[in-house]
A and B are shown apart, each in its own frame.
Chain A
Amino acid sequence: MKEFGYRRADDVSGAVALLAAEPEARYLGGGTNLVDLMKTGVERPALLVDVRELPLDRVETTPDGGLRIGATVTNSDLAAHPEVRRRYPALTQAVLAGASGQLRNMATVGGNLLQRTRCGYFTDVTRPCNKREPGSGCSAIEGEHHNHAVLGASDHCVAVHPSDMGVALTAFDAVVTYESADGPGELPLSDFYLPVGDTPHRETALPPGALITGVTLPPAPVAARSRYRKVRERASYAFAIGSVAAALDVRDGVVHEARLAFGAVASRPWRARAAERALTGAPADAAAFAAAADAELAAARPLPHNGYKVPLMRNLAVAVLTELAEETAR
Chain B
Amino acid sequence: MTTATTGRTTRKGAVGTAHTRVEGRDKVTGAARYAGDIPFADLAHGWLVLSSVTRGRIRAIETGPVLDMPGVLTVLHHGNAPRVETDYVGMLGAPDPTAAVFQHDRVPHAGWPVALVVAETPEQAREAAEALVVHYDTEPHDTALDGDRPDARPADGHMPAVTEKGDLAAELAASAHVVDVEYRTPEEHHSMMEPHAATAYWDGGRLELVDSNQGTTWVQGELAKMFSLDESAVRVRSEHIGGGFGSKGLRVHQVSAVMAATMLQRPVRVVLARRQMFSLAGYRSPTVQRVRLGADADGRLRALEHRSLNQTSTVYQFVEPSAGVARVMYDAAAHRTANHVVPLDVPSPTWMRAPGEAPGSFALEAALDELAEKCGLDPIDLRLRNEPETGPVSGLPFSSRNLAACFREGARRFGWADRDPRPGVRREGRWLLGTGTAAASFGAGALPSTALVTAEPDGTFTVRIAAADIGTGARTAITLVAADALATTPDRVRVHIGDSDFGPAGIAGGSMGTRSWAWAVGAAAAELRERLALGTGIPPEGITVRSDTTEALASLAQKERHSFGAQFAEVAVDTTTGEIRVRRMLGIFAAGRIVNPLTARNQLVGGMIWGISMALHEEAVRDHTGGLYGADLAGYHVATNADVLRVEADWVDDPDPDDPVGIKGVGEIGIVGAAAAITNAVWHATGVRHRTLPIRPDRVLEAGGHA
Q: Which residues of B contact A126 (CB under 8 A)?
A: 52, 627
* Interface residue A298 (Cβ < 8 Å from any Cβ of B): no
How far apart are A43's CB and chain B's nearest CB, in angstroms?
Answer: 13
C-alpha gap A308/B630 in the complex (Å):
20
Inter-chain contact B617/A319, CB cutoff 8 Å: no
B residues less than 8 Å from A307 (CB atoms): 702
Q: Which residues of B contact A225 (CB under 8 A)?
A: none
Is there an interface contact between A118 and B698, defined as CB atoms closer than 8 Å? no
The A-contacting residues of B in range 536-584, CB under 8 angstroms, are: 576-579, 581
B458 adjacent to chain A (CB < 8 Å) = no
**C-beta contact mask, A64-88 vs B, less than 8 Å → 1, else 0?**
0000000000000000000000000
A62 interface residue, CB < 8 Å from B? Answer: no
**A3 (CB) vs chain B CBs: closest residue:** B127
Q: Is the CB of B640 within 8 A of A308?
A: no
User: Separation in Å of the B176 CB from the closest CB of chain A?
Assistant: 38
A231 to B579, CA, bound (A): 7
Does B698 contact A308, Cβ atoms closer than 8 Å? yes
Q: Does B130 lie at the interface of the complex (its beta carbon under 8 Å from any beta carbon of A)?
A: yes
A53 proximal to B (CB < 8 A): no
A305–B641 CA distance with the chains assembled, in angstroms: 29
> A27 within 8 Å of B by Cβ?
no
In the complex the two chains form, is B629's CB within 8 Å of A235's CB? no
Q: How distant is the Cα of A123 from the Cα of B642 in the complex, in angstroms? A: 27
User: Which of B75-83, B351-359, B380-388, B618-626 is near enough to bind chain A?
Assistant: B618-626
Annotate B675-707 by CB proximity to A: 1 below 8 A, 0 otherwise.
Answer: 000000000000000000000111001100000
- In the complex, whether A2 has a CB less than 8 A from a CB of chain B is yes
Residues of A within 8 A of B697 (CB): 231, 233, 241, 308, 312
Quick check: B617 and A234 within 8 Å, CB to CB?
Answer: yes
- Give Cα distance in the complex from A142 to B627, angstroms: 13
Q: Using CB atoms, name the residue of chain A closest to B613.
A: A234
Of residues 257 to 283 in A, which have CB atoms within 8 Å of B's CB atoms?
A: none
Alpha-carbon distance A116/B459, docked complex (angstroms): 64
Judge whether B576 and A319 touch: CB under 8 Å: yes
- Identity of the chain B residue whose Cβ is nearest the Cβ of A118 in the assembled complex: B634
| Residues A312 and B701 in contact in the complex (CB < 8 Å), given A2-B127, A41-B130, A319-B576 | yes
Q: Using an 8 Å CB-CB cutoff, how does the interface string of A134-152 with B read, 1 for contact, 0 for none?
A: 0000010011101000000
Q: Is the CB of B126 within 8 A of A1?
A: yes
Selected contact of A235 from candidates B627, B642, B701, CB within 8 Å: B642
Question: Which chain B positions have C-beta within 8 A of A146?
Answer: 698
Q: How far is the CA of A111 from the CA of B430 in the complex (A)?
A: 35
Interface residues as binary, A105-149 with B (CB distance below 8 Å gives 1, 0 otherwise): 000000000000010110110110000000000010011101000
Cβ-defined contact, A241 with B698, below 8 A = yes
State how many angstroms separate the Cβ of B120 from the closest Cβ of chain A.
14
Determine whether the beta carbon of A234 is less than 8 Å from that of B127. no
Once the chains are docked, how many angstroms separate the CA of A311 from the CA of B703? Answer: 12
Question: Is there a chain A Cβ closer than 8 Å to B635's Cβ?
Answer: yes
Which B46-74 residues have a C-beta within 8 angstroms of A? 52
Which residues from 282 to 330 on chain A have a C-beta closer than 8 Å to any C-beta of chain B? 305-308, 311-312, 315-316, 319
Contacts of A319 in B (CB 8 A): 430, 576-577
Instruction: Return chain A residues, CB-CB under 8 Å to B623.
Output: 139, 143-144
Q: Is A228 an interface residue (CB 8 A)?
A: no
Nearest opposing residue in chain A for B635, CB measure = A120
Are B643 and A234 in contact, with the CB atoms below 8 A? yes
B630 touches A120 (CB 8 A): yes
Chain B residues lying within 8 Å of A231, measured Cβ to Cβ, are: 577-579, 697
With beta carbons under 8 angstroms apart, the residue of B577, B581, B629, B640 that contacts A121 is B629
* Measured CA separation A10–B579 after assembly (Å): 47
Closest chain B CB from A100 CB (angstroms): 9
**Within 8 Å CB of A305, what residues of B?**
698
What chain B residues lie within 8 Å of A127 (beta carbons)? Answer: 625, 627
Q: A143: which of B126, B127, B629, B632 is its contact (CB, 8 Å)?
A: B629
Across-interface contacts of B629 in A (CB, < 8 A):
120-121, 124, 143-144
- Determine the chain B residues whose CB is within 8 A of the CB of A123 once the complex forms: 630, 632
Q: B621-664 toward A: CB 8 Å interface, digit per residue (1/0)?
A: 10111010111101101011111000000000000000000000
Closest residue on chain A to residue B643 by CB atoms: A235
Task: Give the CA-CA distance A218 to B113 in the complex, in Å.
Answer: 55
- On whether the beta carbons of B642 and A311 are closer than 8 Å, the reply is no
Q: Can you list 12 A-B pairs, Cβ within 8 angstroms, ordered by A?
A: A120-B629, A123-B630, A124-B631, A144-B629, A233-B637, A233-B697, A234-B616, A234-B637, A234-B643, A236-B641, A239-B634, A312-B701
Known: A234-B643, A235-B640; 14 extra A-B contacts, CB below 8 A, are A1-B123, A2-B127, A118-B634, A120-B631, A139-B625, A142-B624, A146-B698, A234-B617, A235-B581, A236-B643, A239-B634, A242-B577, A308-B697, A319-B576
